[in-house]
Amino acid sequence: MISITKIASKSLLRKRLRSILTLLGIAISSWVLISLLGFNQGYERSLDDDIDNLGFQVLLTAKGCPYEAATLMLQGGAGLRYMPDTVIDSLRSMPEVQNLTPMLMQAVFDPMVGENGTVVAYSGVDPATFPKMKSYLQFEKGTWFSDPTATEAVIGYEAAELEQREVGDLILVPEKNVELTIVGILKRSGTQDDGTIFVPYLALQSIFEVQGKLTSVGIQVGKDVDVTAFEDKLYELPDVQVVSMAQVKSTISNLVGTARVMVMSIALIAILIAMVGVVNTILMSVFERYQEIGIMKSMGATAGHIFRLIWTETVVLCLIGGLLGAAMAYGLAAVTESLIRYLLPYSPKGSLVYIDGMLMLKSIGIIIGIGVVSGLYPAWRAARIKPIEAIKKSEGEL
């Protein structure tokens, strides 16, 4: 005996073009849904990775705007305000502080870079503490500075490649007329460090005549430390601002929050459109098969059989459409990612669209769920068809 699934498949194949168009609608909606859910997942992961790569949980900066501080940490750039380096002694006396590293950002206009010159930033770091915090940094060639006050530089992979710099080459600090000797080139890390020029902060203080000044201090706290309470304690220090990684994450999440709400709304609209399309297709199918359904009923098919038949057609359409959409989302993830990266105000370095098996299963589940709901009404209407009336008329009124 022929099964209900086979009858449903045959019915769908009878009107191929309409079935394919409906499938495409469902597939595109599924693609949008899975891509956006993958974006939500990937963005969080990449942001976490970016923040982990900073190597510290709390950043202490001179008092200023929190967005400036967040930018300083994630994008690099010149510190806008200074704090005295005596703050290090105060921090070292705090039991919550596990490790700390003083930092000094400086920037200078280099007329030789680009068409009209550009601002080149130098990141002053402490060779004794900074490498421990950035344990992921590895050397392509060379090593860290020979001395905490040496006029030496360690440069990121891209900074070296673009300028064809090698260990032993020099970097001229424009305006200051000081040459830094390159002692190390880092391996590509996929972070902002790839384009950074690291210099011992004491040397940078001397070059830029800002002795005794810092722009920030990176702090690693103990695992059992209450970071919120520790932040409050840090605010007791004069003229400082505390930026925790949780704050940075929250600030960036807020920045992109509006964009995320918008894209999720678009996804919802796409799903609603697909649902209406499915209902319309199945209703049309029932409408055209009005007489056929009547004959089936007169031959012994029950209302339950008809209901299941129409419902199965809907679910089959949604299942195939969902699978197709999942394949599209997975295959076109790179394209989706570049589009999102173009639109967002800030995007972390890692993969922005992360689609795994679980996400695809969940999304296909949602699409099938939509199919189940969308099929209810047409199936119910089909089940209510009266056989005598249906056989008399070639087409029904639904």
Of 70 and 364, nearer to another protein (C-beta) is 364
Distance of alpha carbon 282 from alpha carbon 373, whole angstroms: 12
Distance of alpha carbon 347 from alpha carbon 338, whole angstroms: 10
- SS3 of residue 64 by DSSP: coil
Tell me if 397 contacts another protein by CB under 8 A: no
- Single residue of 33, 58, 171, 270 touching another protein by CB under 8 A: 171
Tell me if 116 contacts another protein by CB under 8 A: yes
Distance of alpha carbon 102 from alpha carbon 86, whole angstroms: 11
Residues 335-354 binding another protein (CB under 8 A) are 335
Binding mask 13-52 for another protein (x = CB under 8 A): ----------------------------------------
CB of 354 to another protein, least distance (A): 12
Tell me if 332 contacts another protein by CB under 8 A: yes
Tell me if 358 contacts another protein by CB under 8 A: no
Burial 182-205 (b: 16+ CB within 10 A, else e): bbbbbeebebbbbbbbbbbbbbbb
Of 197 and 271, nearer to another protein (C-beta) is 197
Angular region, 65: left φ>0, alpha ψ -120 to 50, beta rest:
beta
Tell me if 361 contacts another protein by CB under 8 A: no
C-beta neighbour count of 223 within 10 angstroms: 6
Tell me if 165 contacts another protein by CB under 8 A: yes
Q: What is the DSSP letter of 195?
A: G
Tell me if 140 contacts another protein by CB under 8 A: no
Tell me if 119 contacts another protein by CB under 8 A: no
Distance of alpha carbon 200 from alpha carbon 57, whole angstroms: 22
- Kindly indicate which of the ranges 174-182, 189-197, 239-247, 289-297 contains the residues binding another protein, using the contact rule CB under 8 A: 174-182
Q: Give me the phi and psi of 120, to 5 degrees please.
A: -105, 130
Tell me if 163 contacts another protein by CB under 8 A: yes
In DSSP terms, 178 is beta-bridged to 173
Count CA atoms closer than 13 A to 97's CA, side-chain side.
Answer: 20
- SS3 of residue 179 by DSSP: strand
Tell me if 211 contacts another protein by CB under 8 A: no
Count CA atoms closer than 13 A to 209's CA, side-chain side.
Answer: 2
Tell me if 330 contacts another protein by CB under 8 A: yes
Take residue 397 and report the two structure tokens written for it. 């009124």
- Kindly indicate which of the ranges 23-31, 58-66, 112-120, 195-203 contains the residues binding another protein, using the contact rule CB under 8 A: 112-120
CB of 320 to another protein, least distance (A): 17
CB of 263 to another protein, least distance (A): 21
CB of 218 to another protein, least distance (A): 29
- Kindly indicate which of the ranges 3-11, 159-167, 277-285, 289-297 contains the residues binding another protein, using the contact rule CB under 8 A: 159-167
Take residue 362 and report the two structure tokens written for it. 């969940």
Take residue 211 and report the two structure tokens written for it. 């002795």
Number of residues that bind another protein (CB under 8 A): 23
Of 88 and 197, nearer to another protein (C-beta) is 197
Distance of alpha carbon 364 from alpha carbon 233, whole angstroms: 49
Of 220 and 336, nearer to another protein (C-beta) is 336
Tell me if 334 contacts another protein by CB under 8 A: yes
- Single residue of 83, 333, 359, 390 touching another protein by CB under 8 A: 333
Of 76 and 174, nearer to another protein (C-beta) is 174
Distance of alpha carbon 135 from alpha carbon 269, whole angstroms: 46
Contact, 109 vs 117, CB < 8 A?
yes
Tell me if 276 contacts another protein by CB under 8 A: no
Tell me if 222 contacts another protein by CB under 8 A: no
Take residue 21 and report the two structure tokens written for it. 């168009």
Tell me if 110 contacts another protein by CB under 8 A: yes
DSSP string, 205-219: HHHTT-TTEESEEEE
Tell me if 331 contacts another protein by CB under 8 A: yes
Q: Which residues of the shown chain bind another protein in the complex (CB under 8 A)?
A: 110, 112, 115-116, 161-165, 169-172, 174, 177, 179, 327, 330-335
